[in-house]
Amino acid sequence: MRDPIRLCVGNEWHRFPSSFFLPENAVDRHGQRRAVEMEFVRSEFDGILPAHFAPGATLGESARHSPTGRINDANRAEMDRFVPVESCDFLIHLEAGQKTELEPKLRKNVEYCVVRL
């Protein structure tokens, strides 16, 4: 079992509010309290995504911290922002249009439980 619970966001990263709306902890299906984290998986979007705050930093420290070397000024994707989809406990992903290598049709994968809204 993985700790923490990993919520991943794919091509819907710009519509999903942010990790600020995630609980700090959640109870898993085994009744165990675990931390919750949000990560990104690769999609057809190839621009830069938000970086994590420095671990252990307060909000004030994070606001003053300059992420030197971690942010590019060309809006290019940074590969250190992504995790493998297989490492995700939950995935927020919109299936629209054609299937691609980076955006497969996951609803046909029996390992995923699809929620339709």
Global pTM?
0.76
Q: Would you mind telling me the total number of residues written for the chain in this entry?
A: 117
Give me the tens of pLDDT residue by residue for the chain, a chain 117 residues long: 458 999 899 888 887 767 778 888 998 878 999 999 999 999 888 888 887 777 777 777 777 766 655 677 788 888 888 999 889 888 888 777 788 888 877 666 656 666 665
CB–CB of 95/107 below 8 Å? yes
Strand, coil or helix: what is 108?
helix
